[in-house]
Structure 1
């Protein structure tokens, strides 16, 4: 692919030289020395851009091939190429041509300089366009779950055309709120289907682990879309989305847990043995990691530009915006409060009790999202941030695993001292 980029850039630059020559001839008849100087500089710029493009493409593809999250990022790669090539052309072509003109023809009119510079600019744009198209064509899109199963993914335009028989322009996107609703509907529907299949196919001894895997994967997928809701609709929309997701989860997860710290709580109440608790925690950790693939599958529908960016991303940045110690305290405190309140009866009315607890969870996430991401769920934090730039693995484990488990343990002890029954302290 690198040789193909070099060939196209060279061919396009020669075309740019012809444009340059034609414009100069029209402006200054007989300026042979000017044409020779311009041609040499443009050819030199072509070689420079070709080498730059080759290095960017080969380097980006090599990096992308080893990426653990996705295999390519066409748009990011194109932007990198454009920046490097733009700088090379701007300095090596336009600037050098003006210098060659000044040395070769004295005096020379401003019209000639402007014309030559304009021609060089046109050549540069042509070079960048050709190189970018080649890179985009040569880099494959990330693999999705369907790709791994041998099924070709389709974006929402293709799905719509297949179902309605009408085509939609490639640059036509849905409204952000429509895309967010569809994202959640698709994830919830897939989770529901997987749960029914699990209960139908697997024996009872295995069902509990697979159900917790599915619940964790589904819940963690919600929060990939919540980032877009926060971006477009602020903290108010973010809070409402979280509360609704909690209420939906309570009705669809069928008792399965989505948070590894709940295994510790179950063990403390002697509901599961220690080895079963460890298996549950491991299964949920994998569920958190799998949530990225589930979200990526929905992003492949290309419903909004935000989904396209996430689909082609090759790296991520940590959500930890405070010190390690403060991050540990934030995640520990949130887990403590959420676990303790979850053990209390805050109202005689079951729905009011559920709504208060859901609102508490949403409020804590809104309050702390800018500090640590406010996960207080080790599996979710792992699915969203493990390996992201800015946080080492040991820091991730300390803040997002040890912190919530310590908070859960304190909540278990606190529950023995302070209890609320039907909204009254006892």
Structure 2
């Protein structure tokens, strides 16, 4: 009876495409995408658990915010390392779907953390943060970005599935496919538009704002995917692509740090401009 049930379950999973792959290359013959999904969920679960402990143990302070930024950055980068595997093996739209769902999750679970170095800079421009505190928050984000691969490398080195073979120790390739200045413009433009969309949705408090924001950001990433990679986040780009073959340090700095930061600063200036503020007042009046 038990054996019969096991065979039925096995046939069901095979029809679903979840098992049936070579057991010599994939643990228990499991579909490699299942393992990638499991690794992503593991990163989210560990981050959520750690975040909960931090919130219970620490009172509100700059140090607590630094720890939460470190956790959020590590969570973001760990998930996105696995998204590289998804994109390489199942294409841009599988990558986009995962990114869309993850972005919604992060918007609801990170609270004040951003895992993005230009966010403290925006706070400085908006008068809600001083330079020294912003520098410490950015340091926490960079530290989280730099240590992430050591965690990911442990998982990849186990080589449970064929899509992880040699990934733990192979040289990475840069995503920048255009001239450095063009790449900087792409990252600046995408960052500016994403930040403006986020500010607009937050200010108007429209229904399902986090879903709309996630969809817009995902589409912007897809649009830039074959040009600069569409990172729109210096810490994320540093974690995934700093030192990769095909980019110099200067190119990386100009495209992913200077480009994205300029885009972020421009979004603050545009959103605070008189015409935009007047337009926002009229929109909120209609909503109310």
CA RMSD of superposed structures (Å): 2.3
Q: Distance in 2 between matches of 1:403 and 1:185?
A: 31
The TM-score normalised by the length of structure 2 is: 0.82
Question: Counterparts of 1:11-26 in structure 2 under 5 Å?
Answer: none
Report how many aligned residue pairs link the two structures.
257
* Equivalence for 1:265: 122
Consecutive unaligned residues of structure 1, counting only runs of 5 or more, are: 1-167
Look up the SS of the partner of 1:317 in the other structure. Answer: coil
Question: Counterparts of 1:256-405 in structure 2 under 5 Å?
Answer: 256-313=113-170, 315-345=171-201, 349-351=206-208, 353-405=209-261
CA distance change for structure 1 residues 422 and 175 in 2, over 3 Å: closer, same or farther? farther
Q: Distance in 2 between matches of 1:362 and 1:169?
A: 35
Question: Counterparts of 1:17-416 in structure 2 under 5 Å?
Answer: 170-173=24-27, 174-202=30-58, 204-205=60-61, 206-313=63-170, 315-345=171-201, 349-351=206-208, 353-416=209-272
Consecutive unaligned residues of structure 2, counting only runs of 5 or more, are: 1-21
Q: Distance in 2 between matches of 1:422 and 1:323?
A: 40
Q: Which runs of 4+ in 1 moved over 6 A?
A: none
Q: Distance in 1 between matches of 2:249 and 2:75?
A: 24
Shift in Å, 1:348: 5.3
Shift in Å, 1:410: 0.7
Shift in Å, 1:360: 0.9
Q: Is the 8 A contact 2:74 2:147 kept in 1?
A: yes
Q: Give per-residue Cα distances to partners, 1:214-254, cap 9 Å, x unaligned.
A: 10111112211112222333222121111100011112213
Q: Distance in 1 between matches of 2:200 and 2:25?
A: 51
Q: Is the 8 A contact 1:176 1:232 kept in 2?
A: no
Q: Is the 8 A contact 1:260 1:281 kept in 2?
A: yes
Q: Distance in 1 between matches of 2:244 and 2:88?
A: 20
Q: Distance in 2 between matches of 1:372 and 1:302?
A: 29
CA distance change for structure 1 residues 187 and 388 in 2, over 3 Å: closer, same or farther? same
Shift in Å, 1:169: 5.3
Shift in Å, 1:278: 1.1
Q: Distance in 1 between matches of 2:146 and 2:247?
A: 17
The TM-score normalised by the length of structure 1 is: 0.57
Q: Give per-residue Cα distances to partners, 1:196-223, cap 9 Å, x unaligned.
A: 2323444543110010011011111221
Q: Distance in 1 between matches of 2:282 and 2:205?
A: 7
Q: Which has the larger radius of gyration?
A: 1
